[in-house]
């Protein structure tokens, strides 16, 4: 490792690779954990849906049994008679009435016993209380866990025994009508399904925290939780969305799911404590962490292995260069390299050193010429640098003299020239528009209050490749031939858009028209590619460069606008 750690470029590479690998590893680990967490939440959602469907199914089954029992009462006259004795009477009145009207040839029918057999037993103990009410009072039959019945008579309808609460259960109300006059109501049945019995059936589902929340704000904890969870269940039930996240206790968060009942006014709320969920699946999370860690270590070991060979290659190059600098062309033992491009380069470099001594004499004059060429290239680099410094000095002088407009014009010109020199020959449409905008800013400063420009080019064209510095000649053509210095509003507009088959750039001005004879001549001379002189050098140059670059998919149209000025349209086929 020390072989490359001492070299700055490879040390920087190793640090960059390490940061990249760790970032990718942490990102992949976080994404994997997020996917796992999402899957665990979906599993909890599936359990919640199943549990809620079970509860709704049980409530529907109880409702069906109650409906069946009501039909049973109406279809059995003796049972209806016993129900009417039970309605509104005391215990003595109920027993006396049913004995006085009983017949010795028929067995007595007991309404409470019939309810126990038909409702309590068949409903598996869900229905624990049945009460029969008149307008002001009611009689109650309750069943304990063993099915034993107990009675209370003539309780006011406002008694706590009849208060509807989700803690006690869900109440089905059924009207009791006179069988001889069905429109006449003689009483009301109230069947209470015990919350404890009902929700006990879903405690086998994988629900860490579940609760039933009524519209009035009562909470029945089905499984898990404490007062803090009751408050979270209330908060979740009040949310507009059916699922989401709720924060509590600082950074702690729970995922909630709510399901509204179609039978009663309550919501079934399931809470998933994310921290607890991660603790329960800590083994899998640790496994993911270890896998990601091992993957990162493996990649870093591979990087170190490759960087070490690269460092050996670089040291060999440096050694060869030092030999050349000291004119040491003696033969040395060949180094061992891997069979890759670096090894090929290193071997060729060793061979180059060996052959250099033989070629240096015959190539001496050529090398002198090459040095002379390189010096000229350096001189060409110095000239633009000298121009930049000179423009900066002039701009500083203008600022000292408080000539801000001149300073801005010089700064813009310097930026434009620097970009023209430094940018590659092939640039994007966006970069070409930047060069054009710098030129147009200079013209704005030259003609203050008399020249304006607008550029509206779609984003789809910005990354399109093009040749450098072809828009400026089109704009300059306007200032040479169409611009009116005495006019208060000279306008140049550049539009660009995308069609189904091509990209279109349009340069529109409000200057002078081109005569039809001159326009025909310009159109006729544009396609010429020989060295014959043409009048419209700028337009011809732009057309020729773009035509060479884009090929047959390029076209340029020059037209007069209807009101004033000239429109130049450049179309580039997508193919």
- Token pair recorded at residue 71: 């039909």
Reading the block at residue 522, the tokens are 């310009």
Question: Residues of the chain with pLDDT > 90: what percent?
Answer: 19
Q: Give pLDDT tens digits for 473-503.
A: 898 888 888 888 888 889 999 999 999 899 9
Is the distance from CB of 42 to CB of 272 less than 8 angstroms?
no
- The span from the CA of 321 to the CA of 356, in Å, is 12
Q: Rounding to the nearest 10 degrees, give the CA dihedral for residues 14, 18, 21, 22.
A: 180
Please give the radius of gyration of the chain, using alpha carbons only, rounded to the nearest integer: 46
Q: How many alpha carbons fall within 13 Å on the CB side of residue 94?
A: 20
DSSP state of 249: S
User: Rounded distance, CA 6 to CA 455, Å?
Assistant: 52
401: helix, coil or strand? coil
* Neighbour count for residue 67 (Cβ, 10 Å): 12
466 within 8 A of 426, measured Cβ to Cβ: yes
Q: What is the DSSP code (8-state) at residue 553?
A: G
- The token duo for 111 is 């309404």
What's residue 94's pLDDT?
83
> Strand 465-467 vs strand 502-509: parallel, antiparallel, or unpaired?
unpaired
* pLDDT score for 378: 38
Pairing between strand 169-178 and 149-156?
unpaired
Domain 423-573 part of CATH 3.40.50.10800: no
- Cβ contact 245:41 at 8 Å: no
Cβ neighbours around 549 below 10 Å, total? 15
Residue 204's pLDDT is what? Answer: 84
3-state secondary structure of 204: coil
User: What pLDDT, on the 0 to 100 scale, is given for residue 362?
Assistant: 53
For residue 377, the model assigns a pLDDT of 41
**DSSP letter (8 states) at residue 335:** P
- In the DSSP assignment, the letter for residue 116 is I
Q: Considering the entire predicted model, what is its pTM?
A: 0.51
Print pLDDT tens along the chain (575 aa).
455 566 677 777 778 888 888 899 888 888 988 888 889 888 989 999 999 999 999 899 889 988 988 898 888 888 888 888 888 888 888 888 777 766 655 667 787 888 887 877 665 778 889 999 998 899 999 888 777 888 899 999 999 889 989 989 999 999 999 888 888 899 999 999 988 888 888 888 888 889 999 988 899 999 877 788 888 888 898 888 899 888 876 667 889 999 999 888 899 999 988 888 888 888 888 888 899 889 888 888 888 777 777 777 777 777 777 777 776 766 666 555 556 566 677 677 777 777 776 666 555 544 544 444 444 443 344 345 445 545 655 656 666 666 666 766 676 776 666 666 666 778 899 999 998 998 888 888 888 888 999 999 999 999 999 988 889 889 888 888 888 888 888 999 999 999 989 999 999 999 888 888 888 888 888 877 554 444 567 788 888 888 888 888 899 999 998 888 999 999 999 87
């Amino acid at each position: 490792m020390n072989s490359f750690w001492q070299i700055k470029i490879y040390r920087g590479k190793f640090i960059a690779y390490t940061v990249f690998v760790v970032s990718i590893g942490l990102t992949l680990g976080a994404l994997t954990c997020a996917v796992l967490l999402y899957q665990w939440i979906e599993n909890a959602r599936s359990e919640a849906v199943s549990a809620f469907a079970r509860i709704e199914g049980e409530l529907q089954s109880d409702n069906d049994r109650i409906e069946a029992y009501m039909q049973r009462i109406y279809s059995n006259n003796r049972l209806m008679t016993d129900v009417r004795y039970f309605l509104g009477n005391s215990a003595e009145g109920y027993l006396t009435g049913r004995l006085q009207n009983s017949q010795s040839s028929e067995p007595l029918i007991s309404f409470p016993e019939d309810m126990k057999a038909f409702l309590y037993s068949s409903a598996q103990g869900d229905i624990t209380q049945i009460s029969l009410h008149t307008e002001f009072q009611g009689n109650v039959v309750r069943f304990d866990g063993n099915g034993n019945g107990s009675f209370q008579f003539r309780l006011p309808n406002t008694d706590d025994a009849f208060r509807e609460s989700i803690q006690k259960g869900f109440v089905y109300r059924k009207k009791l009508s006179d069988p001889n006059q069905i429109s006449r109501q003689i009483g009301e049945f109230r069947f209470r399904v015990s919350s404890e019995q009902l929700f006990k059936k879903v405690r086998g589902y994988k629900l860490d925290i579940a609760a039933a929340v009524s519209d009035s704000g009562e909470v029945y904890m089905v499984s898990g939780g404490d007062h803090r969870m009751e408050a979270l269940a209330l908060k979740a039930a009040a949310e507009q969305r059916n699922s989401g996240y709720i924060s509590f206790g600082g950074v702690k968060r729970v995922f909630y799911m709510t399901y509204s009942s179609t039978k009663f006014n309550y919501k079934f709320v399931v809470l998933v404590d994310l921290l607890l969920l991660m603790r329960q699946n800590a083994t899998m999370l640790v496994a993911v962490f270890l896998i990601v860690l091992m993957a990162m270590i493996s990649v870093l070991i591979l990087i170190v292995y490759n960087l070490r060979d690269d460092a050996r290659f670089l040291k060999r190059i440096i050694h060869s260069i030092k030999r050349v600098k000291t004119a040491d062309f003696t033969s040395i033992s060949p180094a061992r390299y891997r069979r890759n491009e670096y090894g090929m380069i290193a071997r060729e470099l060793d061979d180059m050193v060996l052959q250099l001594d033989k070629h240096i004499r015959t190539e001496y004059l050529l090398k002198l010429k090459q040095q002379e060429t390189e010096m000229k290239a350096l001189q060409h680099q110095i000239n633009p640098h000298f121009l930049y410094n000179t423009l900066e000095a002039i701009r500083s002088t203008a600022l000292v003299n408080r000539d801000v407009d001149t300073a801005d014009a010089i700064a813009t010109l310097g930026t434009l020239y620097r970009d023209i020199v430094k940018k590659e020959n092939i640039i994007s449409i966006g970069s070409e528009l930047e060069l054009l905008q710098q030129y147009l800013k200079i013209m704005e400063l030259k003609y203050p209050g008399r020249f304006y420009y607008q550029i509206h080019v779609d984003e789809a064209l910005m990354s399109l490749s093009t040749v450098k510095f072809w828009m400026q000649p089109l704009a300059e053509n306007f200032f040479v031939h169409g611009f009116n210095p005495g006019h208060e509003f000279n306008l140049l507009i550049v539009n660009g858009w995308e069609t189904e088959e091509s990209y279109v750039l349009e340069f529109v001005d409000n200057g002078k028209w081109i005569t039809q004879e001159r326009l025909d001549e310009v159109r006729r001379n544009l396609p010429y590619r020989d060295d014959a002189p043409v009048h419209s050098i700028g337009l011809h140059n732009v057309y020729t460069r773009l035509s060479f670059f884009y090929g047959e998919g390029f076209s340029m149209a020059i037209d007069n606008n209807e009101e004033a000025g000239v429109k130049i349209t450049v179309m580039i086929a997508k193919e």
